[in-house]
Amino acid sequence: MALTGIEILKMLPKTNCGECGVSTCLAFAMKVAAGQVEIGACPYVSEEVKEKVGEASAPPVRTIKIGKGDNAFVIGGETCLYRHEKRFEHPTGIAVLVRTDMGEEDIAGRLKRFNELHYDRVGLVLKADLIAVNDATGDEGAFTSLVGHVQDECPDAALILMSEHAGCLAAGAKACGDNKPLLYSATRENSDAMAEVAKEAGCPLVVSGESLGDAAELSEQLQGMGLKDLVLDTGARTIRAAFEDHVAIRRASIRHKYKALGFPSICFPCKMTEDPMLEAMVSSVLLAKYAGIIVLSDLQGDILFPLLLERLNIFTDPQRPMVVEENIYPINGPDENSPVLITCNFSLTYFIVSGEVEGSKVPSWLLIKDTEGLSVLTAWAAGKFSADLIAMFIKKSSIADKVNHRNLIIPGYLASIKGELEEELPDWKIQVGPREASHISPFLREWQPG
Ligand code: SF4
Which residue from 10, 24, 25 has its CB within 8 A of the most atoms of ligand 1, so it is best to mutate?
A: 25
Ligand 1 atom closest to 29 (CA): 7
Return the pLDDT at 103. 96
Q: In a 10 Å sphere around its CB, with 0-12 CB exposed, 13-18 middle and 19+ buried, how is residue 418 labelled?
A: middle
Domain boundaries, position 105? 64-314
Q: What is the DSSP letter of 288?
A: H
- Closest atom, ligand 1, to C-alpha of 23: 5
- Residues of the chain predicted below pLDDT 50: none
Q: What is the DSSP letter of 323?
A: B
- Closest ligand 1 atom, residue 15 Cα: 3
d(CA 89, CA 292): 11
Residue 57 has what pLDDT?
Answer: 66
429 shares its domain with 350? yes
- Residue 41's pLDDT is what? 87
Does residue 372 form part of some domain? Answer: yes
Q: What is the DSSP string of 183-196?
A: EEEE-TTTHHHHHH
- Same domain (yes/no): 53, 98: no
Q: What is the pLDDT of residue 1?
A: 58
- Residues 414, 384 within the same domain: yes
Task: Please check whether residue 319 lies inside any domain of the structure.
Answer: no
CA–CA dist 273, 238 (Å, integer): 9
Asked if residue 369 is part of any domain, the answer here is yes
User: Can you give the CATH number for the domain in which 244 is found?
Assistant: 3.20.20.20
The CA R_g of the chain, rounded to the nearest whole Å, is 27
> What local confidence, expressed as pLDDT, does residue 87 receive?
87
- Whether residue 26 is found in the same domain as residue 145: no
From 42, 46, 50, the mutation candidate for ligand 1 (largest count of ligand atoms within 8 A of CB) is 42
pLDDT in tens, 187-202: 999 999 999 999 999 9
Question: What does the pLDDT read at residue 88?
Answer: 92
Q: Answer yes or no: do 127 and 260 share one domain.
A: yes
Q: Is the CB of 36 under 6 A from ligand 1?
A: no
Q: What is the C-alpha separation between 343 and 349, in angstroms, rounded?
A: 8
- At residue 180, the pLDDT reads 96
**Same-domain check for residues 278 and 385:** no
Q: Is residue 302 part of a domain?
A: yes
> What's the domain count of the chain?
3
Q: 3-state DSSP helix/strand/coil percent for the chain, to nearest 5?
A: 45, 15, 40
Report residue 162 CA to chain centroid gap: 25
Residue 144 forms part of a structural domain: yes
CA 6-11-13 angle, 5° bins: 110
Find out whether the beta carbon of 442 lies less than 6 Å from any atom of ligand 1: no
| 284 domain-assigned | yes
| Residue where a domain terminates, one of 57, 80, 101 | 57
